[in-house]
Structure 1
Amino acid sequence: MTDRDPDDSQLDAVRDALADATGDTGPADPGDGEKDATFLVTHADDDSAVLRDVASGQVHALSSNPGVDEGEAVEGVVAPDPPMNVSWQLVEVHERRVIPVEESEEPPTQQSLDAAADQPVGDLTRTERAGTGELHVVTVPEADTADAVADVLADADTARARAARLGVNRVEVRSAPGVVVVRYMP
């Protein structure tokens, strides 16, 4: 879905309703137009880029690429391009960082294995890391462990967006038969 469709302004009400349902109570077009947030770069080429607000999910298609790369987290300010406000510009950058999503050769910690032992297959337990970050412990059928890890790695944008929301710099995936642990780490 694009941020704005110039031919169909009636979609604004639908976008606002969907945003309300997902917890973004702001309008589709804020009053002053500028938005200060943390964004994930979901697409980037020489001429343009697409940013997704990691808190609200709102998508901002940039009219040019100010030098961002796909997979980066950018804390900054976007503003609509006048006069139609259908595309955006990244007008200020507070911080940029690459958030790698990688599989680790290390096994899950004993704490993660204990959490998995207490939950049925298909459940997820979230726990805070000592310090900064979060752990997601997922139990899966043992025969599907490798596929579950591959799914997490294939959907790296979701992991990066969560990492950006948490303010961490990397995502590490560990596994053992029947257990997948996604570690959001500083």
Structure 2
Amino acid sequence: MTDRDPESDGSELDAVRDALAAAAGDAGPADTGDGEKDGTFLVTHADDGSAVLRDVASGQVHTLSSNPGVAEGEAVEGVVAPDPPMNVSWQLVEVEERRHIPVEESEEPPTQHSLDLAADQPVGDLTRTERAGTGEIHVISVPEDDTDRAVDDVLDDADASRTRAARLGVNRVEIRAAPGVVVVRYMP
């Protein structure tokens, strides 16, 4: 992951983006079944007439033919079913739980444990560690001069962080940073 050409268009931030994409996880193949599907879905788009849900386990996208009141940025645990007769669009037929997952930058610095993890890894690498209690912490080493840009990259790709949070069953994502270190905390 660190074998990047420093003359490349995105510099070492390409490695950071790769680490973030890897942390989001491989979505795997889409479920192509014709029937109902239960799972956890991230609302990636919502307006008055429709919504788009992405299964956080498979990556399959479900375009709803109507919006049952969901909002962008929410994780929905429930059941989707295809709209007959063509099964091109979907309906959200059951909702077990719904929660908004904020992705926010914190003014708090990374913990000493996170800083120690970052000190032991090359720029562009990511270390995942369990959080005390529930959740997970991702520690990413970045070029010191690009720390703010790396934080902005995480904030700009909030759906990847929300997908990971929904998969982990947590309710919020907090980003902490120090020169050369970005920490993404998935928290209850």
Determine if the TM-score, normalized by the shorter chain, exceeds 0.5: yes
Listed as ranges, the gaps of 5+ residues in structure 2 are: 1-25
Q: Which has the higher contact order (CA 8 A, sep 6+)?
A: 2
Which residue of the partner structure matches residue 23 of structure 1? Answer: 28
Secondary structure of 1:41 counterpart: strand
Deviations 1:124-183 (A, max 9, x none): 000000111000000000000000000000100110000000000000000000000000
- Aligned pairs for 1:119-130 (under 5 A) are 119-130=121-132
Q: Distance in 1 between matches of 2:86 and 2:136?
A: 41
Aligned with 1:184 (options 180, 183, 186): 186
Listed as ranges, the gaps of 5+ residues in structure 1 are: 1-20
Given the two structures, how large is their TM-score scaled by the length of structure 1? 0.85
Q: What letter matches 2:80 in structure 1?
A: V
Secondary structure of 2:148 counterpart: helix
Secondary structure of 1:112 counterpart: helix
Q: Distance in 1 between matches of 2:187 and 2:31?
A: 32
CA contact (8 A) 2:127 2:139 kept: yes
Following TM superposition, by how much is the alpha carbon of 1:23 offset from its aligned partner in structure 2, in angstroms? Answer: 3.2
Q: Distance in 2 between matches of 1:155 and 1:56?
A: 19
Secondary structure of 1:160 counterpart: helix
Q: Distance in 2 between matches of 1:65 and 1:152?
A: 28
Q: Where has structure 1 moved over 3 Å in runs of 4 or more?
A: 21-24
Which residue of the partner structure matches residue 116 of structure 1? Answer: 118
Is it true that 1:47 corresponds to 2:49 in the alignment? yes
Q: What letter matches 1:50 in structure 2?
A: V
Q: What letter matches 1:180 in structure 2?
A: V
Which residue of the partner structure matches residue 144 of structure 1? Answer: 146
Following TM superposition, by how much is the alpha carbon of 1:110 offset from its aligned partner in structure 2, in angstroms? Answer: 0.4
Given the two structures, how large is their TM-score scaled by the length of structure 2? 0.85
Is it true that 1:156 corresponds to 2:158 in the alignment? yes
Q: Distance in 1 between matches of 2:93 and 2:51?
A: 13
Aligned with 2:90 (options 83, 88, 94): 88
Q: Distance in 2 between matches of 1:122 and 1:73?
A: 29
Percent identity between matched residues is 82
Secondary structure of 1:126 counterpart: strand
